[in-house]
């Protein structure tokens, strides 16, 4: 007797829906003036800076800003990556915190930055005195003139991680209170970018940063490469740059 395979129509419909949603999302998250945004990116890279990049979890900075941080370090900026947690809730794998810490060290080495690995509780980073104190210590240690961190609005309202929102909101609160020395603040993972960095020349380094976080990835290296290249094409639609990273410059 011939055995029927699983119906393919639902899969076709699902694939079409995902493709349509991806297309709409990509079109609605482009800079209003891409040429101006690219010029702002060139200006950011034009001189040496003291850069403090803050990520709630291992891999966040590499995903959204790995190419930019590599270019900044390559151009002589002093780049510090502050990773606030060790990502211990990522999986139930034994000693996952130690594994992800080693992966973070590998990613920072590829970027060419200094790593500050902290141990705030993964999944429980919230705004308040503890987070404010952590940020105060980072500012005192690095004395940054450029800060790069996650946008508290986030790119997708229905899948935002509370840790990400808390870190972005805490940095935004510092700016509103006038704490600091007039440093520039750039948000990654933003729904409204006004700065684009052309990372085409370092796309391989960004992909290698992805591969450094192997414990948190599913699939072979070819899938990792497609993912790295795919997200780096999201904001390049109306620009001459092939691969870009997008930011919202707050100050």
pLDDT class of 239 with cuts at 50, 70, 90: confident
Contact 217, 210 (CB under 8 A): yes
In this prediction, residue 157 carries a pLDDT of: 55
Least confident of 5-9, 13-17, 178-182, 221-225: 5-9
List, for residues 56-77, the tens digit of each pLDDT value: 999 999 999 999 999 999 999 9
CA angle at residue 27 from 22 to 59, to 5 degrees? 60
The region of weakest confidence among 103-112, 151-160, 169-178, 233-242 is 151-160
Residue 136 has pLDDT above 70, yes or no: yes
Q: By percentage, how much of the chain surpasses pLDDT 70?
A: 89
Give the residue from 196, 249, 214 showing the smallest Cα distance to 31: 196
* Residue 127 region by backbone torsions, left for phi larger than 0, else alpha for psi between -120 and 50, else beta: beta
pTM value is: 0.87
To 5 degrees, how large is the angle CA 131–CA 134–CA 136? 110
Read off the pLDDT of residues 176-221 as tens digits, 9 standing for 90 and up: 998 876 799 999 999 889 999 999 999 999 999 988 888 877 777 7
pLDDT of 26 higher than 50: yes
Query: 128 pLDDT band (50/70/90 cuts)?
Result: very high
Burial class (CB in 10 A: 0-12, 13-18, 19+), 230: exposed
Domains and CATH numbers, the chain: 32-249 (3.40.50.10320)
Rounded mean pLDDT of the chain?
88
98 or 3: which leads in pLDDT: 98
Cα separation, 198 vs 244, in Å, equals 5
Q: Identify the pLDDT of residue 2.
A: 47
The predicted pLDDT at position 117 comes to: 97
**Token pair for 99:** 């594994």
The whole-number pLDDT of residue 237 equals 77
pLDDT of 1 reads: 46
């Amino acid at each position: 007797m011939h055995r029927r395979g699983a119906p393919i129509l639902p899969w076709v419909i699902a694939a079409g829906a995902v493709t349509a949603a991806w297309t709409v999302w990509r079109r609605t998250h482009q800079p209003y003036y891409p040429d101006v945004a690219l010029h702002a990116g060139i200006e950011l890279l034009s001189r040496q800076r003291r850069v403090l990049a803050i990520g709630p979890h291992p891999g966040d900075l590499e995903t959204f800003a790995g190419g930019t941080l590599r270019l900044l370090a390559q151009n002589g900026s002093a780049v510090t990556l502050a990773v606030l947690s060790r990502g211990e809730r990522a999986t139930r794998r034994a000693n996952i915190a130690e594994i992800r810490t080693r992966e973070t060290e590998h990613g920072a080495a590829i970027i060419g930055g200094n790593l500050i690995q902290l141990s705030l509780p993964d999944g429980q980073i919230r705004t308040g005195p503890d987070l404010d104190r952590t940020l105060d210590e980072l500012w005192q240690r690095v004395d940054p003139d450029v800060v790069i961190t996650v946008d508290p609005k986030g790119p997708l309202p229905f899948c935002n991680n509370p840790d990400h929102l808390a870190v972005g909101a805490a940095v935004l609160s510092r700016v509103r209170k006038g704490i600091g020395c007039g440093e520039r603040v750039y948000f990654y993972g933003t729904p409204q970018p006004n700065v684009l960095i052309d990372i085409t020349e370092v796309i391989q380094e960004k992909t290698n940063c992805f591969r450094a976080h192997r414990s948190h990835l599913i699939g072979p290296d070819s899938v990792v490469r497609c993912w790295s290249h795919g997200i780096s094409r999201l904001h390049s639609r109306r620009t001459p740059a092939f691969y870009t990273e997008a930011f919202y410059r707050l100050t």
